[in-house]
Structure 1
Amino acid sequence: MKTKIIIPIIFLLISAFSFSQNHKEKREKVKALKVAYITEKLELTTEEAQKFWPIYNAFDDEQAELRYEKMKAILDRFKPGNVEKLSEKEASALLVQMEKIEESLYNLRKKFIKDLQNVISAKKIIKLKKTEEDFNRELIKQIREKRKEN
């Protein structure tokens, strides 16, 4: 349940960086830190890493694209007053769209796990999930600390 909350928050925080000129640099820095963190925590061998990262990066890119699509589709609807202006038919259509995106994310995750099973052990796949959550928590913590400093 926490992941369902943390991942969108991380996505929104990263999206918020898009308004700054340093967006690409910050995104690349976060990505590099994430790669190092995951590689270390999973204790990936060189061979595993060579097979793992292309699968992970493709999954991560597609997941980000689906999440962006979801956010783009619903953000305008959730501005103050917009939800109240929706007709029941529009709300139902939006709900169907949201469900389709969630289903796509679920199917993407299933495929990702299946693909990873040919590369790393089941134990490392489970450890990956925890490692991603730990990384996201640490990222949020650092962002909050940085905001307090400013």
Structure 2
Amino acid sequence: MLRLLSLAALLLTLASSAHAQGGGGFGGGRKGQRLGQLENAKIAFITNRVVLTQDQAQKFWPLYNEFSGRRREFNRNGRLLRRDVADGMTDQQIRENFTQAFTMRQQELNLEKEYFDKFQKVISLRQVAQLFQAERDFTKEVIRRVADRPARPGDGLN
């Protein structure tokens, strides 16, 4: 479950990174539009799967957005650590890099446990389970669509 959630967050982080390179807000070019579309699709997907009352939705979405932002930050930092591994590193530097990466993954797990408890205060346990399943399913769907689509020049996927 953690791996799929991490993958979902990674996909959103990658989209966010592409968005930052494209500049501006969601309207900042094609990459920004794609990020906005991905975020909107995820919200719609989760909304469809986790049926929320109006009262629940008003409490849930700000909490979920806070959770997603914090999780995205962990993934961004983790990506920076992995990128730093180079042939010129000493064994000790590589070990320290892995230790930091393991610490960050543990912090991400702690974050998920923290928000698991917070989510249960605004939605039912069943809805929390549906939320995490919806995130996994959304990630699988995004991966399937990316894998199935033909590569286009300049989209960074070829």
Calculate the TM-score normalised by the size of structure 1: 0.83
Structure 2 CA distance for aligned equivalents of residues 130 and 120 of structure 1: 15
Give 1:44's aligned residue.
52
Give 1:124's aligned residue.
127
Bigger relative CO (Cα 8 Å, ≥ 6 apart): 1
| RMSD between aligned residues | 2.3
Calculate the TM-score normalised by the size of structure 2: 0.79
Structure 1 CA distance for aligned equivalents of residues 16 and 151 of structure 2: 20
Give 2:103's aligned residue.
100
- Equivalence map 1:1-150=2 (5 Å): 3=4, 6-7=7-8, 10-11=11-12, 13-14=14-15, 17-18=18-19, 19-20=21-22, 21-77=29-85, 82=86, 84-147=87-150
Any stretches of 5+ residues in structure 1 without a counterpart?
none
Pick the structure with more helix per residue: 1
Structure 2 CA distance for aligned equivalents of residues 146 and 75 of structure 1: 27
Structure 2 CA distance for aligned equivalents of residues 140 and 13 of structure 1: 13
Does the residue aligned with 1:102 lie in a helix, a strand or coil? helix
Contact 2:4/2:139 (8 A) holds in 1: no
Contact 2:63/2:119 (8 A) holds in 1: yes
Residues 114 and 4 of structure 1: CA distance in aligned 2, closer, same or farther (over 3 Å)? closer
Percent of pairs with identical residues: 23
Per-residue deviation, 1:11: 4.5
Aligned residues: 145
